[in-house]
Amino acid sequence: MSDKLKDIISKQGEQQEQESVVGQLDDVVQLVGFMIGDEEYAVPILSIQEIIKPFSWTRVPQVPSYVMGVFNLRGAVIPLIDLRAKFGLQTKKQSEDTRFIVMRHGDDVAGFVIDRLTMAIRIKKENIGPAPDTVSGDDTIIDGVGKQADKIITILKVNKLLERDF
């Protein structure tokens, strides 16, 4: 077993220990973090149906540029949305790290293109602050801001992401 692997396993062990302490408290939120541009975002783990590697999709006419089209997820036709474009960033070529995150809220399902996955995060509710005043309100897609030791993570509202806004 390589040292690297050992390292990872021991790290995981540590994290699990930490998590088990955190996990005993009820007010913990589990999130999945991902990168879009230079920012880290997260959505609740339970709203994610699956995370898949990119594959081919079909363009759909007469939609905003951030709607890339539709793709076939085991027989279901699902819209594909480029979060870079949606957040007003330059589109860039898909790379090795690019993933489609399929999110579900009620009956609404859509795939979102993200630049890179980071990690699954457990975070205490008390460490989640409200969205900044400038973007708060019902219309924002930001649910809150999660504070972690070394960084902050923007938590997104899945229902807003899945809402048609054109």
Partner 1 sequence: MDEFQEILQDFLVESFELVEKLDEDLVELESNPEDLELLNGIFRVAHTVKGASSFLNFDVLTHLTHHMEDVLNRARHGELVITPDIMDVILESVDLMKQLLEQIRDTSSDGGIDVSACVARLDKITGGSGEVETPVVAAPEEKSTEETAVEEESAAADDEDEIDYENMSPEEVEAEIERLLAQRQEEDRKKREAKIAAGEEVPQMPNPDAEESKEEKKEAPKETSAPAPTPAPAKQVKKEAPKAAAPARKTPAQVEQTIRVDVKRLDHLMNLIGELVLAKNRLIKINDDVEERYEGEEFLEELNQVVSIVSLVTTDLQIAVMKTRMLPIGKVFNKFPRMIRDLSRELNKKIELVISGEDTELDKSIVEEIGDPLVHIIRNSCDHGIESPEERALKGKPEMGTIALKAYNEGNQIVIQIDDDGKGLDPDMLKSKSLEKGIITEKEADTMSDKDAFALIFKPGFSTAAQVTNVSGRGVGMDVVKTNIEKLNGMIDIDSEVGKGTTIKLKIPLTLAIIQALLVGVQEEHYAIPLASVLETVRISKDEIYTVEGKSVMRLRDDVLSLVHIGDIFEVERILDASEHAYVVVLGLGTSKLGLIVDTLVGQEEIVIKSLGDYLKGIEGIAGATIRGDGGVTLIVDVVALMDIAKNVKVTSMTETQEGVASKEKTQASDYVVMIVDDSKTDRTIMRKALEPMGVTLVEAGDGQEALGILKSGDYNFDAMLIDIEMPRMDGYTLASEIKKYNRYKNLPLIAVTSRTSKSDRMRGVESGMVEYITKPYSADYLASVVQRNVNFKAEFL
Residues contributing to the site for partner 1 (CB under 8 A): 56-63, 67, 69-72, 75-79, 93, 107-110, 162, 164
Closest approach of Cβ 159 to partner 1, in Å?
12
Q: Kindly tell me which of 41 and 71 has the beta carbon lying closer to partner 1.
A: 71
The whole-angstrom separation of Cα 136 and Cα 3 is 47
Closest approach of Cβ 57 to partner 1, in Å?
7
Closest approach of Cβ 88 to partner 1, in Å?
20
CB 94 within 8 A of CB 84: no
Closest approach of Cβ 41 to partner 1, in Å?
20
Q: Kindly tell me which of 16 and 58 has the beta carbon lying closer to partner 1.
A: 58
Identity of the amino acid at 120: A
Q: Kindly tell me which of 26 and 139 has the beta carbon lying closer to partner 1.
A: 139
Q: How many CB atoms lie within 10 A of CB 141?
A: 18
The whole-angstrom separation of Cα 33 and Cα 40 is 7
Q: Kindly tell me which of 67 and 155 has the beta carbon lying closer to partner 1.
A: 67
Helix and strand numbers (H, E) in the chain are 3, 11
Structure tokens belonging to residue 71: 């793709």
